[in-house]
Structure formats: C-alpha cells, structure tokens
Structure 1
C-alpha cells in the first residue's frame, strides 16, 4: 500500500515549510541536499523534520496539506507538539472587532 506523507520542516531561519510526498526519505534528502535551487528551502538549510502524518489516500493528503499551509504558526506548532486539542482554541477569533466581542454603542 502506498502512503502519502504531509510533513513540516523547520528551516534554519525558524520558518516552517509544509509539503507532501509519496517517499518521505527521498524528499527529505532532496531538501537537505538542495536538489532544487528554486525551492523555498534551498537557501535556508539545514532543515529538520518536525512533523509527519501519513495518509493512504492522496486526496486526503492533499487536502490536509492545503489546510496546514493556511494555518498560523501557532496552529502548526500545536500539531508539531502533538497538541491537537489546542487547534479549536487557536481557531477562535480574538480580535476586538469580532462579533463575539461586539457591544452596542
């Protein structure tokens, strides 16, 4: 059975890179060795793998990768730290202008 991995790399500048692959070992090798000079990670090596989740279905993996790419740094760090239950709390809007904080003038 082929598995598809969604992974997060921590880059030397402290940023995170999220990707998808069907061969995590090969892909990590490519990132670490700068196989693609146009890749985001090329100039910010060394890299470390901080998260990896496997999926049996490529469409599930693609959907999860897209979701994670849109997340804040704090949400990414929650799953990196295996703190999945924190995602709901981090999804709540805390802006003063949000409808939950609105008071009539």
Structure 2
C-alpha cells in the first residue's frame, strides 16, 4: 500500500475474557487474537489480568467503529454477572440500538425484550 492509498476504517470488536478466578474482563480491540495473546504473554496486557491466568476468551463480537465499541464495552461492564453470562452463552445478543441513549443492551433470541426477560 502506498501513502496515497486510503486506509479502510478499522473494524473494532468487544471481547470478554474469563480469568482463573472466574472473573470477567471486558475490552475493545481491532484484532481480538492479537489482543488476547498480549493479555496472556506480554506486558502490553491489562494490569487487571496480570497473574490471573490461565485466561479464556469467552466471547467477542465485531461492532464497527471505535466509538461504538467503547459505548458497548461500557454498557457490558454495567451488566450484572448473570446478564454477561447470558450474552456469553448466546441466550441474548447485542442489539446495536444500545448506541442510542437509554436503549436496552440485549434482546432475547425469542424476540422477548431484555426488560421482559428479567423479573422485576
């Protein structure tokens, strides 16, 4: 690629890693495999994960822009453990409408809304 060739925009992903202590870490990257290896093998990994291996990449999803990835990461970090587990297990999926203010994060695969699926 020469300097006049326009770069394609990066595709950002959100990922969840499980530690040996069964805690979940959520992050964003443009290359999930590379970032996971950094967490496991280099000093470039998150300080939170240091000494908590072995690590397991539990879930990841490509979401588009860095801005979208950061918004989704923040929202996932606010979820309760049971809701993160449901996302990992595929009982829920990301609904990109969360990028709008006050929208629910996930919807059940059977088209039930997230709020309907959680008892109040």
Same fold (TM over 0.5): yes
- Partner SS, residue 47 of structure 2: coil
CA distance in 1, matches of 2:52, 2:71: 26
Structure 2 residue corresponding to 1:45, chosen from 39, 42, 53: 53
Mapped contact 2:12–2:66 kept (Cα < 8 A): yes
Structure 1: tracts of 5 or more residues without a match = 94-105
Mapped pair 1:27 → 2:35: yes
Q: Could you tell me which residue of structure 2 aligns to residue 56 of structure 1?
A: 64
Moved over 2 A (4+): 86-90
Structure number with the bigger relative contact order (C-alpha 8 A, sep ≥ 6) is 1
Q: 1:37 to 1:54 in 2, by over 3 A?
A: closer
- Measured after TM superposition, the shift of residue 42 of structure 1 is 0.7
Q: TM-score, normalised by structure 2?
A: 0.69
- Structure 2 residue runs of 5 or longer lacking an equivalent are 1-7, 93-107
CA separation in 1, counterparts of 2:49 and 2:31?
A: 18
Whether 2:5 is the aligned partner of 1:6: answer: no
Match of 1:66 among 69, 74, 88: 74
Q: TM-score, normalised by structure 1?
A: 0.78
Q: Distance in 2 between matches of 1:60 and 1:12?
A: 29
